[in-house]
Amino acid sequence: MALFRFRVYWLLSLIFVIITGSVVAQDSSAIKHTADTLITPTPVDTPLRIINLNPYMTLHVDSSINYNLDINKDSAQFFWFLKNAPVGLKINKDNGLLSFKAEKSYFLSGRLKYDEEYHVYLGVQNLKDPKDRVDTSFTLVFYNTEIVISRVKPTVSSTLYIDEGDTLTFKVQCETGSFPIEKITTLINVPIKNYSPINRCEDQFSWPIPFDFVKETDTGKVRSFNISLIGADKFFNRDTATIRVIVRDAMNYPYRLSEYNKVVKDIDRYILQLKFTFKELDKKVRGTKNTRTSFDLTSGTAALGGTVLATSASSGTQNLGKVLPGVGVALVPVKEAVSPVKTYEQNSASQVRASIKRLEYTVTDNALTSERDGEILNKISKLRAELKQVQVQLIDVPMLDTGELSEEELNQYFNNPKVNKKYKLSKKSK
């Protein structure tokens, strides 16, 4: 039984070996004698494209670049061009060689800037087929490891003198270095109000200086303060410009102008009072003169009549002629008693009239000659001194009260043609 099993096992093993060898022989024969005669075709690349373009380039200042661009076709049939290229960037139209030398002079002159993206448009065109072209772009950025600080440049000097009442105004310009100034801070070492600060380049500082800025305790009637302008770029590199402002004590012209107008108005009103006073004084002098003239005419007529009657043949008439001259002589003391000479009134009227002319001339001589007369203080002092001097000279002359009439009403009354015609005293009093 065991022998039978051994023989069966051996027979099966022999059959397995024969079958396996036959299969291997068939596979080896197939690989050896079978040949693949098909050729895979190479695809044709028809769309035009740039195969080595870098879309973003950075370039250090004072360095150069030579970048040979290539396409997927015969470059001899194409030409290259650039649009919106920064200064100095060139391309060879025949072979697409992109070249650039970043000279520092470009940046110092402001034609190129650091850390600014320049978008350059690049194109390649088939010489025979205008439709066979490609347009693209790349970005070029310049950088510099040497930091040049941007400077703050005010349009005024470092020391500035100005008067009260004026307006302090200046602009701030910036000298751009590696990085532009983005913000400016204004610092003032004294508290001031109503000023326009500087926040960025090309801003304007403005401050109307009040008339009370300089105090009485300030030495030399001047007051100084500093304006500090601190500019900073995006990396907080700072530059500071300091302006020393010296404010001098000045005249408050609007106030002095109102003061001048008030003095002139007071003088005009006082002149009106003097004119009314002169009218009353001249009226008294004129009345006295008329009365004394009547007495003189009567006395002269009596004396002349007595002389004539004394030559008459009638004794009675002769006696009357002898009496009449005595009557004329007797009228002289009566005239002095009834109408004495108004010497005080006459002198006062002359003095008042002269004072009126004097004040009118003073007002005319000290009139303002410009919109901002620099001699207004001296003119105010002269007008006040002249008014005070006239008032002292006429202190014994009784002034006529103008009553409740306003200045306009007094002028209207005084300039009335009927009043002028009635009271033209100067011609009648000669």
- How far apart are the C-alpha atoms of 209 and 212, rounded to whole Å? 9
From first to last of its 430 residues, the chain has per-residue pLDDT tens of 555 565 656 666 667 656 665 544 444 444 444 555 666 655 555 788 888 888 998 888 778 889 899 988 888 889 999 999 998 899 999 888 999 887 878 887 888 888 889 999 999 999 888 888 999 999 999 887 777 789 999 999 999 999 988 899 999 999 988 788 999 999 999 999 999 999 999 999 999 998 888 888 888 889 999 999 999 998 888 999 999 999 998 877 788 889 999 999 998 888 878 877 777 766 666 655 556 565 455 555 655 555 555 565 566 555 555 555 555 555 555 555 445 555 566 677 777 777 878 888 889 898 888 887 878 888 989 999 998 998 888 887 777 665 555 666 656 655 666 545 544 545 444 4
Q: What is the DSSP letter of 334?
A: H
Q: Give exposure, 317-355, as e/b (b: 16+ Cβ within 10 Å).
A: eeeebeebbeebeebeeebeeebeebeebbebbebbbeb
pLDDT score recorded for residue 338: 47
Tokens of 351: 């003095």
Chain-centroid distance, C-alpha 330: 87
Backbone angles phi and psi of 297, in degrees to 5:
-65, -40
pLDDT of residue 286: 60
Helix 343-365 to helix 376-393 angle (10° resolution) is: 180
pLDDT of residue 172: 94
Q: Which two tokens stand for residue 230?
A: 């601190």
For residue 159, give the nearest of 241, 222, 228, 245 by alpha carbon: 245
Q: Which domains does the chain have, with CATH numbers?
A: 56-143 (2.60.40.10), 151-250 (2.60.40.10), 254-421 (no CATH)
| CA nearest neighbour of 97 among 76, 67, 135 | 67
